[in-house]
């Protein structure tokens, strides 16, 4: 399916032809240009990477939950140490992912 870009707001639309109006800014169809094959490839690539980031983020949220249960369980110090490390790693990585995705959005990498 071809990709079309709104020249006013950079919204990317997927379809056989551009929409009558931009769903984001309302600009008319004439303001859309078709992406080149190279641009299409880049958009699809970054969509894939962003999807992986989101999946990892969700998995890390689950790790934080499990680590907190372990910390509460408090069987012995070595276990609590491991759970605390898992929690800290997960929270730090989640922040990194958020920061990275914000960078992508500013660069208009969200397809």
Q: Given the rule CB under 5 A, which residues bind Zn ion?
A: 6, 8-9, 11, 22, 24-25, 27
Find all residues with CB under 8 Å of 63, minimum gap 6, and list them.
86, 87, 90
DSSP assignments along 14-37, one per residue: ESSS--SB-TTT--BGGGEEEPPH
Q: Up-side HSE of residue 59: CA atoms within 13 Å toward CB?
A: 9
Identity of the residue, 11 or 83, whose beta carbon is nearer to Zn ion in the bound complex: 11
Identity of the residue, 27 or 63, whose beta carbon is nearer to Zn ion in the bound complex: 27
Identity of the residue, 33 or 95, whose beta carbon is nearer to Zn ion in the bound complex: 33
**CB of 31 vs Zn ion, minimal distance in Å:** 7
**CB of 16 vs Zn ion, minimal distance in Å:** 19
**CB of 98 vs Zn ion, minimal distance in Å:** 25
């Amino acid at each position: 399916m071809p990709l079309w870009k709104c020249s006013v707001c950079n919204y990317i639309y997927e379809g056989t032809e551009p929409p009558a109006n931009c769903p984001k800014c309302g600009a008319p169809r004439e303001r859309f240009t078709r992406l080149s094959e190279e641009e299409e490839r880049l958009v699809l690539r970054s969509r894939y990477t962003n999807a992986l980031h989101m999946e990892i983020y969700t998995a890390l949220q689950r790790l934080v939950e499990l680590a907190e249960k372990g910390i509460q369980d408090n069987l012995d110090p070595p276990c609590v140490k491991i759970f605390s490390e898992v929690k800290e790693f997960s929270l730090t990585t989640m922040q990194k992912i958020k920061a990275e995705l914000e960078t992508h959005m500013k660069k208009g990498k969200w397809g």
